[in-house]
Structure 1
Amino acid sequence: MTNFILRRLGQSIILLLIMSVLVFAGMYVISDPVAVMAGEDATEADRQALARSFGLDQPLPIQYLTFLGKIVQGDFGTSFVYGRPVLALIFERLPATLEVVFLAILVGLAVGIPLGIYSGLNRKKAPTKVISFGTTVGYSIPNFWQALLFILVFAVWLRVLPASGRGPTTEIFGVGWSVFNAEGLRYVILPAANLAVALICMQTRLARSGTQEVMYQDYMMFARAKGIARSRLIGRHLLRNILIPIVTITGLELGTLIAFSTVTETVFSWPGIGKLLLDSIYRSDRPVVVAYMILATLMFVLINLVADIIYAILDPRIRYS
C-alpha cells in the first residue's frame, strides 16, 4: 500500500505540471489580460506600464517559470482583477461551495441508496417502475433548466425559498457557514437540491444494479437459506458489497461538484469557487484560473487515492502491491 501511495503521488506531480502548462498557455491564447484590465480608453504607454507591473511583458516561457517558481514556494500569485492573493480568494469562496456540495452528496446517498436497494429487491412491483421512470427523467433534464424550474416553483410561485444569493452565516472556527444558520439554510436548499437530483438518480441506479447482482451470489443465497433476518442480510451483507462502485462514483462526483459547480452557482448567484472560476475566465484573470485548475487536479488525485484506500477497507481481497 505504501508503494502504491508513493507511486500515485509521483504521477500526480507530473499530472499537475502538465495541467499547469496547458491552462497557462490556453489562457495566453484565449485573451490578453492587459487589454481586459486596461480598458478601451487606455493609451499604449498605460498598457505597457500595466504589463511591466504584472510581468506580462516577458516571454511566455519566462512568465510560466516565474509562476511555477512561486508555486513551489506556496505563492500562487496575485489576482489581476481583485489585486489580492489567489489562495485567499479561493479559500474565501470555498466554504460556500463545500456546504452546498456536501449537503447534495448527503441527500444523494440518503435517498438514492435506499431507493436503489428497494428497486433491486422488488423488480416487478409498481413503485420500482415509478422509481425507474423518475431516475431517467431526473438524469436527463439539463442542470440549468432544472435550476430555473426550481426558482420558478419555489421562489416565484410558492415563495417559500429565496431565489439567489447566500443568506446570513454563523461563524465556526473563524469560517462563516450558512448551513448552521436557520435563515441561511433556506438559501442553501435550492442550490443543493439542484445538485442532488442527478446524484439521487445516479446512486439509485448504482444501488439497484449492485443489489440485483449481489442477491444472486452464492454466499447471499446460502445466507438466505440459513434463515438470516432480512434486515441483517441487507445491512451487513448486501450493503457492504454494493458500496465499492458507489464509493468510486461518489468520489468522482464529489471532486467534480466542488471544482465545477459553475452552472448551479451562476444561476443561483451563489458566491462559491465555481462562480469565481467563471468570472476569472471572463476577465482573463490568469493567476486565478491556473491556480484553480492546479488545486482542482490535486483534489481529484487525492479523492481518488482516498477512494482506493477505502476499497481495501471495504473488500479485504483488494490489495495494492
Structure 2
Amino acid sequence: MLNFITRRLGQSAVLVLVMSALVFVGMYVISDPVAVLAGEDFTEADRQALAAELGVDRPLIVQYFNFLGNVIRGDFGSSFVYNRPVMDLILEKLPATLEVAFLAMFIGLVVGIPLGVYSGLNQKKPATKTISFATTVGYSIPNFWQGVLLIMLFAVWLQILPASGRGDTVEVFGVGWSMFSLNGLSHMILPALNLAIYTICLQARLARSGTQEVMYQDFMTFARAKGISRERIVRRHLVRNILIPIVTITGLQLGGLIAFATVTETVFSWPGIGKLLLDSIHNSDRPVVVAYLILITLMFVTINFIVDVTYALLDPRIRYT
C-alpha cells in the first residue's frame, strides 16, 4: 500500500510540474503585460523599466525557475494589474465561488438522484420519458444560454430574483458569505441553479443507469423473493450500491464546479475566482492566471489521488495492479 501511495504521489508531482510549465510558457507566448500596462506616452526607456520591474525582461527559463522557487516558498507573486499578492486576490474571491458551487452540488444531488432512481424503477411510465427528455435537453444546452434564459424568466419577466451581483454578505471568521443573509441568498439562487442544471441531469442519468443495472442483480432478486418491501429494498440495498460511482463523479464534478464556474460568474456578474480569471486573461495578468491554473490542477490532482487511494483501500486488487 505504501508503494502504491508513493507512486501516485510521484505521478501527481510530475503532472503539476508539467502543467505549471505549459501554463507559464503559454502565457508568455500569448500575452505581453508591458504592452497592456504601458500608457500611450511611455517611451522605450519607460517600457524597459516597466519590464524590469515586472521581471519579464529576463529569459523565459530564468523567469520560470524563479517562479518555481517562489512557489515552493508559498509566494505566487504579485498581480501586474492590482499590485497585490496573487494569493490574497484568489482567497478574497474564493468564498463567493465556493458557496455557489456547494449550493449547486447540493441541489444537483437532492434533485438528480431521486429523479434517476424513480426513472430506473418505473421505466414504462410517462413521467420517466419526460424526465429522460428533460435531462437530455438540460445536458445539451450551453451553460451561458441557460443563464440568459434564467435571467429572462426570473429577473425580467417574473421579477422575483436579482440578475447580477452578490448582494449583502455576513462576515464569519473574517470572511464575507452571502448565504447567511436573505438578500445574499436571493442573489445566489440563479447562478447556483445555472450550475446545478448540468449536475441534476448528470446525476439523474447516473442514478438511472445504476438502478437499472442493480435491480437485476442476484441479491436484489433474492431480497424480493424473501418478501422484503419495495421501499426497504430501495433504501437498504439499491441506493447503497448505486452510490459508489455517484460519489466518485460527485467529487470530481465538485472540483469542476469550482474550477469552471467562469461562464456562470461572468453571466451573473458574480465576483468569484472564475470572473477574476477572465479579467486577468483579458489584462494579461500572468501571475494571477498561472497561479489560478496551478491551484486548480493541484485541486484535481488531490481529488484524484484521494479517489485512487480510497479505491485501493476498498479493493486490494487495485493496489497490486
TM-score range, shorter chain: over 0.9
Q: Which residue of 1 aligns with 2:237?
A: 237
Secondary structure, aligned partner of 1:56: coil
Secondary structure, aligned partner of 1:171: strand
CA distance in 2, matches of 1:88, 1:230: 53
In the superposition, relative to structure 1, how do residues 287 and 272 fare at CA in structure 2: closer, same or farther (>3 Å)?
same
Shift in Å, 1:116: 0.3
Secondary structure, aligned partner of 2:319: coil
Contact 1:170 1:178 in 2 (8 A): yes
Letter aligned with residue 281 of structure 1: I
CA distance in 2, matches of 1:74, 1:283: 24
> Pairwise mapping of residues 30-109 of structure 1 onto structure 2 (< 5 A)?
30-109=30-109
CA distance in 1, matches of 2:141, 2:268: 17
Q: Which residue of 2 aligns with 1:143?
A: 143
CA distance in 1, matches of 2:39, 2:141: 39
Q: Which residue of 2 aligns with 1:278?
A: 278
Letter aligned with residue 320 of structure 1: R
Shift in Å, 1:244: 2.0
Shift in Å, 1:305: 2.3
CA shift digits 1:110-144 (9 cap, x unpaired): 00000000000000011101101110111111111
Letter aligned with residue 115 of structure 1: L
Q: Which residue of 2 aligns with 1:220?
A: 220
Contact 2:5 2:309 in 1 (8 A): no
Shift in Å, 1:185: 0.1
What value does the CA root-mean-square deviation take over the aligned residues?
A: 1.5
CA shift digits 1:3-39 (9 cap, x unpaired): 3333222211111110111011101110211111113
Q: Which residue of 2 aligns with 1:3?
A: 3
Count of paired positions? 320
Shift in Å, 1:309: 4.5
Shift in Å, 1:232: 2.1
In the superposition, relative to structure 1, how do residues 246 and 318 fare at CA in structure 2: closer, same or farther (>3 Å)?
farther
Contact 1:116 1:206 in 2 (8 A): yes
Q: Which residue of 1 aligns with 2:15?
A: 15
CA shift digits 1:126-183 (9 cap, x unpaired): 1101101110111111111110011111111111100001011111121111111111
Secondary structure, aligned partner of 1:176: strand
CA distance in 1, matches of 2:160, 2:269: 18
Q: Which residue of 2 aligns with 1:289?
A: 289
Matched, 1:188 2:207: no
Letter aligned with residue 319 of structure 2: Y
Query: Alignment identity in percent?
Result: 71
Contact 2:36 2:283 in 1 (8 A): yes
CA distance in 2, matches of 1:284, 1:55: 14
CA distance in 1, matches of 2:59, 2:26: 15
TM-score, structure 1 normalization: 0.96
Q: Which residue of 2 aligns with 1:209?
A: 209
CA distance in 2, matches of 1:6, 1:188: 41
CA distance in 2, matches of 1:5, 1:269: 41
Letter aligned with residue 27 of structure 1: M
Letter aligned with residue 186 of structure 1: S
User: Runs of 5+ in structure 1 lacking a partner?
Assistant: none
CA distance in 1, matches of 2:251, 2:9: 17
CA distance in 1, matches of 2:86, 2:55: 16
Secondary structure, aligned partner of 2:99: helix
Secondary structure, aligned partner of 1:127: helix
Shift in Å, 1:83: 0.6
Letter aligned with residue 293 of structure 1: L
CA shift digits 1:63-91 (9 cap, x unpaired): 11111110011111111111111111111
CA distance in 1, matches of 2:103, 2:303: 18
CA distance in 1, matches of 2:258, 2:307: 16
Q: Which residue of 2 aligns with 1:320?
A: 319
Shift in Å, 1:60: 0.6
Contact 2:37 2:81 in 1 (8 A): yes
